[in-house]
A = this chain, B = another copy of it.
């Protein structure tokens, strides 16, 4: 196992915040042959006043993530390939400006800009009334808000863990607490790991119930991609066993072509599909989104036991309203929590217990590697 060195950036326990700073290969892993850097900066102006942004550059990819917004991944760039989307929200919004209770408890949408945003942990999916839960003597989450709270909680602990020997992997680890007296005590340990020079990265997350009673949890990765991978003729590839539309009223053509993308259709409503993916022998599943020319693409892979469900969100709106598709590996469908409880989709964590989710992100910017990846799928 590679040796590591650790550099804290933010710590509530030690009352530490380094402010604007930059750490690089020379400082933390001088033997690494590929130069890399991790930079933290404070953002200013509008609703991003006071937000911290961290940019990891592994020499090939630049990944930006936001500790102030629950360790969400803002975007990733590799040459001409940009992962993420052009949200109408534009700014990286400080949680102090996001009121989850607004607009029928969908205020979450006022801060929604990320490439990868985690939904959960106590609840997620659409706002609903929910008067049941597993804890004894605690009030339930009676009025849940869209997609939960975790994306709008600042990380308590953030650190760089740099391997000082091969493969010199760089990990940014953040600890985010969703906790309350008479409420959840769920801890998210979110790790993003990237190897210098490689065309991709991975997320390795652990959710732990720090409370003294069993807790229900849900986790959905809202992985959002817009142009230039998404375009007329773009396609989602995967080992699809079954696909079901979330709502009534989709046309037969829409349902049949759930894996195809067209141009923006101003004023069109979103579509959602619940999809069952066939795992490979190791239990892993993957989906690949590529553009029309098949020279720009993104593959997301994960362990089906960790994230058994998959939701596809197609939001082919006017560019100004958000032209985007969401690839959503999840423990739980984004449906009302009572429904998901009944379906047995909620994760139940005993006191002290954890669950894990590990996702790989492969970035492609040439035809050859996309063809190979499609063939594998």
Interface, chain A (partner B; CB < 8 A) = 10-17, 41, 43-50, 87-91, 95-97, 99-104, 106, 109-110, 112, 135-139, 141-143, 145, 153-157, 176-177, 179-183, 185, 210-213, 264, 266-270, 317-322, 351
Asked whether, in the complex, the Cβ of B99 is within 8 Å of the Cβ of A101, the reply is yes
Contacts A136-B268, A212-B320 aside, 20 further interface pairs with beta carbons under 8 A come to: A10-B44, A11-B45, A14-B45, A15-B43, A16-B44, A46-B176, A50-B50, A89-B180, A95-B97, A96-B96, A97-B154, A102-B145, A103-B142, A106-B139, A109-B183, A135-B267, A137-B268, A212-B319, A213-B266, A266-B351
In the complex, what distance in Å separates the CA atom of A142 from the CA atom of B106? 10
Chain B residues with Cβ below 8 Å from A100 are 99, 102
Given the known A-B contacts A99-B99, A100-B102, A109-B183, are A10 and B211 also in contact in the complex, defined by CB atoms under 8 Å?
Answer: no
CA distance A351 to B207 in the complex (A): 43
A250 to B319, CA, bound (A): 51
Query: A212: nearest residue on chain B (CB-CB)?
Result: B318
Q: Does B45 contact A12, Cβ atoms closer than 8 Å?
A: yes
For A99, list chain B residues within 8 Å (CB): 99-101
Shortest distance from the beta carbon of A128 to any chain B beta carbon, whole Å: 13
Given A104-B143, A179-B89, A213–B318 Cβ distance below 8 Å? yes
List 29 A-B residue pairs with CB atoms under 8 Å apart, sorted by A's residue number: A10-B46, A12-B46, A15-B44, A45-B156, A46-B157, A49-B154, A88-B179, A88-B180, A88-B211, A89-B180, A96-B96, A99-B100, A102-B145, A103-B183, A104-B139, A104-B143, A106-B139, A110-B179, A112-B180, A136-B267, A136-B269, A137-B269, A181-B321, A181-B322, A212-B264, A212-B267, A212-B320, A213-B267, A320-B351
In the bound complex, do residue B318 and residue A181 qualify as a contact, i.e. CB atoms below 8 Å apart?
A: no
Known: A136-B268, A317-B212. A181 touches B112 (CB 8 A): yes
Q: What separation, in Å, do the CA atoms of A155 and B49 have in the docked complex?
A: 10
A82 to B43, CA, bound (A): 36
Q: What residues on B are CB-neighbors of A90 within 8 Å? A: 12, 177, 179
State whether A156 touches B91 (Cβ < 8 A).
Answer: yes
Out of B13, B109, B177, name the residue touching A181 (CB < 8 Å): B109
